[in-house]
Structure 1
């Protein structure tokens, strides 16, 4: 049995930013609300992931086939009236940099492994309840990572046309199945592209590749230094957090102020996913309009001023010169005193 610690996390919307608090479909981007009608937050996280901010918001774990975990969730009714709240597990997928919750009724293997102790609760205005969520992985479960969500849903009475509005909030589930710890999470920053949008705002896009074995939620910042007249700007936050599945690549985008000079600048990116952090730094210049240049920043541990082929040639010449000098010394006759 895993040791769990209790945390108090007041999340307005645990699924933010990829899933909405109130929508008929679950794949749109959510906008923070001043006060959600329904609050859902995670109470338990494993002790070995207590420092990971993703694990504080989402159910993230790796389990061998046949294992089981339990997590408590806190549910609160913030509406002025009593509400009947339906609780269920649903399927989810990663698509186009978003963690997308499927419509109610769509299931996958993970959703069939997930049960809630109270599938339906009635809460008075301001009342709250803790509900136990259990994920039991069958012994014949396939290895790999699966995605799902725990949903809490309220429905309005049908109007004259028979239309029912659903308001739901969710907690993401990232579950990896397999023995041991599995491949570690990792990612790399690839090429950067500059541009200006139709409104004239400069943009910087960076390709991020998930080189590890777990899904990532990538966010971060961009700082510009050594600009015209020794100007500095930023840090600017990434436009929206991007969810990237293992083995895939997606672009993160920074949108900058319209009056920002073209440059040249030194762009410094710092991207994170949980406890992972990667950085890249390279000169950039923004175009007057439209698409600009594409730059590949130097990888960590390399000299940005010496290309790899040039460096290799210099080393070969140095080795050849050393070998030639040694042979000449060996051929010189010894002088007698």
Structure 2
């Protein structure tokens, strides 16, 4: 009994010691690289500007298109699908404010990206063209926006999809609008990156983990069942052996008793005959 209990305890400890690290890894995804966007080509008109490598700051003229080359890179170990699109932004009280979702403004309506969907292999880099075409009647204003690179993860077990995006800011004066004062304090890096984690496929990992935990539990239940059944079988066999042994002993005693009784009955007649002969 003690051996069976200790075996059950050992199996449970082994099961949970295997399950807990896997669950911890699923709950705390580790970084496997990054996806980022950066400027690949700086127009000659702003080549001397120190912020031209970080932001899109070219002046636009009504009716004249501007094309600039950008790039998206993938340093992760996974194949990543990236959506590229322009987004709304405003500039108030010396703060660059980003709009929600894919809301747009005049600048985003003038902006075309080709291609706008990129599938990057691990370690790959792909280029795309940004073309801004202000109409001939565009007003001389300061325009703001963001060129976004968006990575959408797989839905998790609750059906929630995690979306991460990173972008390049657009500070664009149009026509005779004054130059935009950006300020060096807003510059952080010439590379904008999304940290890619294994949680992008967390739903499938969780499903696989749960499947193996379920199989482990079924195996444990079956193992305990057969161990219990084997113990019952051994107990039943021992009980049968005890009953057979007791029956054999009773039969042996009965035969001995019969043998002893039979021996006495055979010995008495000769003595009686001898006694009668002497009397005669």
Question: TM tier, shorter chain?
Answer: 0.5 to 0.7
**Cα distance per residue 1:142-199 (max 9 Å; x no partner):** 2211101111110111112222111211111112111xxx36xxxxxxxxxxxxxxxx
Which of the two has greater helix per residue?
2
CA contact (8 A) 2:32 2:76 kept: no
Q: Distance in 2 between matches of 1:48 and 1:125?
A: 35
Q: Tell me the equivalent position of 1:241.
A: 186
Residue 67 of structure 1 and its aligned partner are, at CA, apart by 0.7
Alignment of 1:198-277 (within 5 A): 213-219=178-184, 240-241=185-186
Q: Does 1:167 align with 2:164?
A: yes
Alignment of 1:1-337 (within 5 A): 37-178=34-175, 182=176, 213-219=178-184, 240-241=185-186
Q: Distance in 2 between matches of 1:95 and 1:162?
A: 37
Q: Tell me the equivalent position of 1:261.
A: none
The runs of at least 4 aligned residues of structure 1 exceeding 6 Å deviation read: none
**Cα distance per residue 1:37-74 (max 9 Å; x no partner):** 21211022222321211112111122221110101111
Residue 135 of structure 1 and its aligned partner are, at CA, apart by 0.5
Normalised by the length of structure 2, the TM-score is: 0.52
Which of the two has greater strand per residue?
1
CA contact (8 A) 1:38 1:168 kept: no
Call closer, same or farther: CA 1:97–1:35 in 2, change over 3 Å.
farther
RMSD: 2.1
Q: Distance in 2 between matches of 1:111 and 1:217?
A: 20
- Unaligned 5+ segments in structure 1 are 1-33, 184-212, 220-239, 243-337
